[in-house]
Structure 1
Amino acid sequence: MKLKHFFNELRLMIGYTVNSTSHAEKLISALGGFLGIACVFWLTSLVVNAGILDQPSSILVIASMGASAVLLFAVPHGALSQPWALVGGHLISGLIGISCFKLFGDTFVIAGLAVGLAIAAMYYLHCIHPPGGATALTVVMGGATINELGYHYLLIPVAINVAVILLFSVLFNAFFAWRRYPAHFAHKFKKSVSVKPSDRQFELTHEDFAAAMQELDSYVDITPEGLSDLLELAKQHAEKNITHPSEIIAGHMYSNGKLGSLWSIRQIVDASPTDSQPHRDKVIYKVLAGDGGYQTGICLRSEFHQWARFEVIKHNQQWIKVEADE
C-alpha cells in the first residue's frame, strides 16, 4: 500500500495526467499535424523555387513549426494556440533573436538573452507561444546561412510558415464541429443548454474565475471563452444529482464531490448487515483517490452516507458520476 501511495505521489509530482480524449480525436490530431507540416513544406518550396523571393532553398521550414503543429492540432482551443499567439509569438521572438545576434553575436549567453527577452515580450504583448522561444534560439544559433539572411529570415521562412500553418489549421479543424479554430468559432457556434438561474444552488460567474486566476498569478492555458464553456458544463453535470446516494452498498465507490485537495474517492470494502442497530451499523472503506489516498477507515454507515455526495465508477481512467436512475 505504501509503495502504491509512493507511485501515486510520484505521478502527481511529475505531472502525469490521464488523457481522456477518444482514439478518433488523437488520430485526427496526428493527421492534422502530418498534413499541416507537409503543406508548410510544399507551399514554402513553391514560393522559393518560383523565385518570388530570393532565399536559399535549404531553408524552407523552421524547426519550431513542429511544436506549433502540436498546439494547433492537438490543443486547438488552448490559449497558447490561438492566432495572435502563433503569429506574434514567432515573429516577435524572431525579431528579438535577430536583433540580439546583430548587436552581440552568437554566444550561449546571447542565446539565453534572446529567449528570455522573447518570453518577456510575449507576456507583455499577450502572445505567449512556446515555439516562439525556439524561433528566437534558432536565429541566434542557427549557423551562417540563417545569420546572413538577417531580418529577411522573418519573411522566409518564418512569416510564410506561420501564414500557411495558420490557414491550414483553420480549414482542417473546420471539418470537425467540436474542433473549430480559432477557439472563438467553437464557442460562437456551440449549442447551449439554458438553465434557469433559480434552478441552481449557486452561480459562479466569469468574474469569479477572472479574480481566481489573478490571485493564482500563473499563466493558465485556456481562453476565457473556453473557461466559461467548461464552467457551464461542470454546472450542468453538478445539477444532475444533488442528493446523497439512496443507500451505501459494499463494493461500490463514492465521491465527496469536493474540489481540489479536499476531493476524495472511497470504496466500501465491507459493511454490517443492513438490519444492524444504528450504533453498530458500520462500514469499512479504503480511499482510492484524492485526499487520504490509499488509506483505510471505519465509520458508521450514517456518517459515510453524510460524507458521500454521489456514487461513481471508473471509465477510461476517469471517475464518472453514476446517475441517480442507474
Structure 2
Amino acid sequence: MSGQLLALAQLLFGWLPRTVQTRPGEWLRAAMGVAGAVACTFWLSSLLYGSTTAMILLGPAGASAVLLFVVSSGALAQPWPVLGSYLLAALVGLAMLHLPLPEMILGWQLVTGVGAVVLGMSVLRCLHPPASAMVVVILLAGDLLSPLGGWLVLPIMLNACCLLFCATLYNNLTGVRYPKQAPRGDLHHTRDILPGQRVGFTEEDLDRALEKHGAFVDITRHDLEQIIRDTESSALRRKMGDIRAEQIMSRDIRTVGPDTTVMQAVRLFRHHHVKTLPVVDSDGVVQGITSLSDLLAQLDLPLGRILPTRINLWRDQPLHKVMTTPVVTVDGQTHVVDMIPLMSNQGLHCLPVLDNGRLVGLVTQTDVIAALHRDLVSHLA
C-alpha cells in the first residue's frame, strides 16, 4: 500500500512544472496590470452599457488580461488575435442566438459555437482562448443580452480595445515592449541579413523546424529565434573563456570636448588614424561620440557646388552640435560575446568602457578581432 502511495505521489509531483524563470517583481508588475486593466474595462463598460452587461462580459476580459500582462510576448496575446477573436466570437454568438437555425438544445449550441470559433480563429490566425469563453457567455446569458440585439458587438469590442490600450500603455511604461515587433535588420538599407545571423541556423531552418513540429506554439516567431540565439551566445561564452572588455580595451585614448570644433577633430582623426573620438566633459563623463561619418553627414552639399561660406561654418561648428548621443557603452566586465552583436548588428566601430560613469577605455573592432584571433590560436594549439 505504501508503495502505491509513493508511486502516486511521484506521479503527482511529476506534473509540477520546472521552476519558472521570472522574478517576484515581474509577478507583482503583471498582477497590478491585470487588476488595473480589468477595473478600467469594467468601469468603462458599465458607464456605456450598464453594470449587468459589464459583469456578464467581464469573465473573458479577465482571462484576456492575464495573457496581455503575464505572457505579453506570446503569440496569443498580440493585438490581432485579441481583436480578431473577440469579433469572431461576437458574430458566432449572435448567429447562434438570432439566425433561424434548426432547434438545438443549449448543450449542442455551446458545442457548435465553441467549435466554430476555434476553427475560425485557426483559419484567420487570431487564436485567443478567451474568445471561446466569450461564445459560452453569450449563449448562456442570451436573455440578459438580448436587448442589445446586433449591437452586442460593440461592448465586446469595447472590452477588447480597452484591454489593448491598457496593456500597451502599462507594459511599455513598466519596461515590457508591447506589442512585440521584429526589429528592423536593414541597417545599411540593403537586403543582407544582419552579420550575427549569417552563421548558424537560418530563417529557413527555423521555418522547417516549426513546420515539422506541426502544432500551435504560444510564442512569436521572433521571440523563438531570439531564445535560440541567446542559447547559442551562452554556449559560446562558456567555450570562449573569460575575455572581458577591460582585458582588450585601449587605455591611452584620445578624447575631445563638447566645444572642440569640427576642424580640430579632423586634425585629430588624421594625426592618430582613428575613426571615432569620444566627447567627454571636464570630469571625464562621456557626453557623446563623433566619427568621420558624423562630420561628413553635416557637410551635405549639392554635387558640383562648393560653398565656401558653408565650408567655413562647418569647420568652426562645435562637436556638441554634431556628435552622436546617447552613446552605447559597456563596463570592464562585459564579455566579448556580448560586444560582438553591438558592433556587427548595430554598426558600431567602437564601444566606450566606463567605470562608475567615467571613461577608462575604448574597445574597437580591431581589439575584438585580435582577441578572437588569439582565442582561436589557443584552441588550435
Q: Do Structure 1 and Structure 2 share a fold, with TM-score over 0.5?
A: yes
Distance 1:6 1:242 in 2: 42
Say which one has the larger Rg: 2
SS of the counterpart of 1:183? coil
Shift of 1:35: 0.5
Pick closer, same or farther for the CA change 1:205–1:176 going to 2, 3 Å. Answer: farther
Aligned-partner SS, 1:97: helix
Which residue identity does 2:162 align to in structure 1?
A: V
Alignment match, 2:42? 41
Q: What do residues 276-297 of structure 1 show as CA deviations (whole Å, max 9, x unaligned)? A: xxxxxxxxxxxxxxxxxxxxxx
Where do residues 193-212 of structure 1 align in structure 2 (5 Å cutoff)?
203-212=200-209
- 1:6-45 equivalences under 5 Å are 10-12=12-14, 14=15, 16-45=17-46
**Aligned AA (1:175):** L
Aligned residue type for 1:22: R
Distance in 2, matches of 1:144 and 1:121, equals 25
Partner Cα separation in structure 1 for residue 34 and residue 167 of structure 2: 9
User: Any stretches of 5+ residues in structure 2 without a counterpart?
Assistant: 186-193, 242-381
Residue equivalent to 2:217: 220
What's the offset of the Cα at 1:242? 2.9
In the alignment, the residues of structure 2 paired with residue 231 and residue 8 of structure 1 have an alpha-carbon distance, to the nearest angstrom, of: 32
What letter corresponds to residue 18 of structure 1 in structure 2?
T
Q: Deviations over 1:89-135 (max 9, x none)?
A: 11101211221222355611111100000000000000000000001
Question: Contact 1:106–1:140 (CA<8 Å) still a contact in 2?
Answer: no
Contact 1:92 1:118 in 2 (8 A): yes
- What percent identity do the matched residue pairs reach? 29
Counterparts of 2:111 and 2:179, CA distance in 1: 31
Pair 1:161-2:155 in alignment: no
Using a 3 Å threshold, how does the CA distance of structure 1 residues 105 and 147 change in structure 2: closer, same or farther? farther
Give the corresponding residue for 2:86. 90
Q: Work out whether residues 45 and 51 of structure 2, in 8 Å CA contact, stay in contact via their aligned partners in 1.
A: no
In structure 2, distance between residues paired with 1:166 and 1:112 = 28
Q: Describe how 1:35-184 pairs up with structure 2 within 5 A.
A: 35-48=36-49, 56-61=50-55, 62=57, 63-102=59-98, 103=101, 104=103, 107-156=106-155, 158-177=156-175, 179-184=176-181
- Report the CA distance shift for 1:240/1:74 in structure 2 as closer, same or farther (over 3 A): same
1:234-274 Cα shifts (integer Å, max 9, x gaps): 11111012389xxxxxxxxxxxxxxxxxxxxxxxxxxxxxx
Show the counterpart of 1:188.
183
One-letter amino acid of the structure 2 residue matched with residue 78 of structure 1: G
What CA distance in whole angstroms lies between the structure 1 residues aligned with 2:62 and 2:106? Answer: 25
Query: Relative to structure 1, is the Cα distance of residues 242 and 197 closer, same or farther in structure 2, using a 3 angstrom cutoff?
Result: farther
Give the TM-score normalised by structure 1.
0.63
Shift of 1:15: 6.1
Structure 2 counterpart of 1:276: none
CA distance in 1, matches of 2:184, 2:47: 35
Mapping for residues 250-269 of structure 1, pairs under 5 Å: none
CA separation in 2, counterparts of 1:180 and 1:7? 41
Deviation of the 1:17 alpha carbon: 3.3
Query: Take 1:79 and 1:222, find their aligned partners in 2: how far apart are those partners?
Result: 5
Specify every segment of 5 or more residues in structure 1 that has no aligned partner in the other structure, as ranges.
49-55, 245-326
2:236 to 229, 236, 239: 239
- Could you tell me the TM-score, scaled by structure 2's length? 0.54
Can you list the C-alpha shifts for 1:203-262, whole angstroms capped at 9, x where unaligned?
Answer: 122221221111111100011111121122111111012389xxxxxxxxxxxxxxxxxx
Q: Secondary structure at the match of 1:240?
A: helix
Check the 8 A contact 2:46/2:53 in 1, yes or no. no
Cα RMSD (Å): 2.9
Change (3 A) 1:241 1:57: closer
1:170 counterpart letter in structure 2: T
Aligned-partner SS, 1:241: helix
